[in-house]
Structure 1
């Protein structure tokens, strides 16, 4: 049951990232609400409202049909325009920043809520329109209250459209995109830091352990940790998960090791707790945030864009994320009752820093403003407390590589003296 529940949660999270999820959900609610209002009309809700507030209820069938038709057509127009703006947003984000930021923009729930409200109102007005009988002479049989609700929903849609215009114009701004990625990664890192213990027990050597191979292909997104812990305790086994979270895993490659031989049934049970996806999400893998922010910075330094200011902004956000990463251990070992049960392979700090700096050294080594900002980042990080001394060693090594590349690329003597001073000013 736990495995099924975990899979359901993982599947639901994947659905939420789809742009059509909330619009489809709102559409269902709008259809159901229209049927509910038709039922209320049958029991005389309009007659009651007319007696209480007759000024608010339309009692002419032709007027009601014309009004609802006009409102529905108007909502369809602004909905088409809104969808067009979403496509323009995605196209610009892909061209100017990085295609990797698209999943985060698509999964923007506020935009989905607005589009869903449009669809729900269209369905509501349509089915209310169907319930109007133009041959009916008795004004109390006209669904006047339902028409009033349709007018109110249309006014709400107009307000939502104004909000949508404002939100979509804000979403395309690079600072907001960077801040969104940063906030997601920060939450993920803080969550992992809270779960870490001060004392990490030793994990046995896995050289002669049995290997289990992947039965699926996709990005290794997550694992159901409580389920795997229960399996390890019940079967008295230990596991080592081989791929790093976010890595693309092919079917048939080694995915985990077990300290003893297990049955095929148990192996399949263990594999059922691995979650794969066709995309990557910062909410599940903080290392993806470093990759996305780096790609935005490098794209900004391309000759076609040539925007050092954006590259400098990305370095600021990376500085904050690296400062958080300094506090995290490279090893992730899951324990139960002080016993190490599962070893989870993770991206170590040295490799993460190298991959980021390799890109910046390649594309920014000729730009003095970016080089200065990178040395300021190194100085700040070297002053922060690190979980392991090796982290500071890695920072100094990368600073030396940046210094060497900059000294070979830049020819201006004044600039070279400034770079020399920045490098020599790094803390020991």
Structure 2
């Protein structure tokens, strides 16, 4: 039962992430609504309205057919125009910013709902049009259903205006950067609030001699069914360590977890069903991807073909805020059971690896730009001033600042520019512990 429930939860999570899921629900809803209106017509809703409120009912068959045919053709035209424009904008975003941001733009639920409403209205109008029979009896004409179709078509026009406004804003680089930042920030805050990691680390046993469990498929390790995994630990009276961080691309046969007891094949299968895999990366599941995407946008903006340092500077600003939040999280995470005992240890990317992963490409592609070097050093200075900086994090930040200063000395030939870059070094030296840690300008 545990295996089936876990598989069902992961299946639902993957299904709802598909671009066609919500439009399909709307289309099915439009079909059901059409049949419901036809049933109401069979019960005499139009004849009742003709007798009591005739101004609400269309009682001419030719007029009804003409209106519905016009609405069907118009809605199809709007759909083609709307989503042709979307494809053009997505192609522009991929070329100018980064291809990795496309899944976030495509999965926008607002745009999916607009598409779904288009399709639902289209299906409804087709269904009502087919129900109009060639007769002179006005009571057999689905007049009220036609009126509802007119109202729905007016809403389609309103949604088309909203769609144009929404997509024109969503494609703006500032909106894209802010969206990535907000998703990564939300995920980080969730992880920070989850566990009391200091106390749990001291109580969690050494895992060196634990039994490894190999993964049985290939893909991006995205989600963990925590409830099912906790239940498995309780049933087997064991503890588990996740060996790879979420968001990692895992090949079949690679150890993904360690268990304090040796598991048989059935229990290994139950354990593996608690892990969700995908062929794409999602920021809401893995905050590291937020750092990756912001870094890639900044690097792409500094390419000669784009030449947009303003966007790169904005990305560094948001990265600085995310790093300041990441400083509040330990380099390890635990999940506790109902007795507040740590039974699951999660592998995470440590702060040193993360900050090097971000600044290494920035230094490689921006070391000839004085403004970008100055901005990166300012970001590190801002992080050094953070109240949550630990001793090891301070050393990591200083080492990264030294790497930037070294690149500046080799790439920047103008002495005045170098003095401006090294002026931030003096500010960093004012912080305790950095007086003798930063390299000098004189060579």
TM normalised by structure 1 equals: 0.97
Q: Following superposition of structure 1 onto structure 2, how do residues 14-413 of structure 1 map, counting pairs within 5 Å?
A: 14-134=14-134, 136-197=135-196, 199-202=199-202, 203-336=204-337, 337-386=339-388, 388-413=390-415
Q: CA–CA distance in 2 between the matches of 1:115 and 1:271?
A: 36
Give the direction of change, closer, same or farther, for the CA distance of 1:187–1:2 in structure 2 (3 Å limit).
farther
Q: CA–CA distance in 2 between the matches of 1:8 and 1:213?
A: 22
Q: CA–CA distance in 1 between the matches of 2:262 and 2:195?
A: 30
Secondary structure of the residue aligned to 2:348 is coil
Q: CA deviation at 1:387?
A: 6.1
Greater alpha carbon shift after TM alignment, 376-385 vs 335-344: 335-344
Is the 2:6–2:273 contact (alpha carbons within 8 Å) kept by the matching residues of 1?
no
Q: CA–CA distance in 2 between the matches of 1:414 and 1:261?
A: 65
Q: Which residue of 1 aligns with 2:437?
A: none
Secondary structure of the residue aligned to 2:222 is strand
Q: CA–CA distance in 2 between the matches of 1:367 and 1:47?
A: 76
Is the 1:245–1:285 contact (alpha carbons within 8 Å) kept by the matching residues of 2?
yes
Is the 1:328–1:387 contact (alpha carbons within 8 Å) kept by the matching residues of 2?
no
Q: CA deviation at 1:105?
A: 0.5
* Aligned CA-pair RMSD: 1.4
Moved runs in structure 1, 4+ residues, more than 6 A?
Answer: none
Q: CA–CA distance in 2 between the matches of 1:117 and 1:405?
A: 54
Q: CA–CA distance in 2 between the matches of 1:161 and 1:145?
A: 24
Q: CA deviation at 1:340?
A: 2.8
Greater alpha carbon shift after TM alignment, 327-336 vs 225-234: 225-234
Q: CA–CA distance in 2 between the matches of 1:2 and 1:388?
A: 41
TM normalised by structure 2 equals: 0.94
Is the 1:329–1:388 contact (alpha carbons within 8 Å) kept by the matching residues of 2?
no
Q: Which residue of 1 aligns with 2:441?
A: none
- Structure 1: tracts of 5 or more residues without a match: none
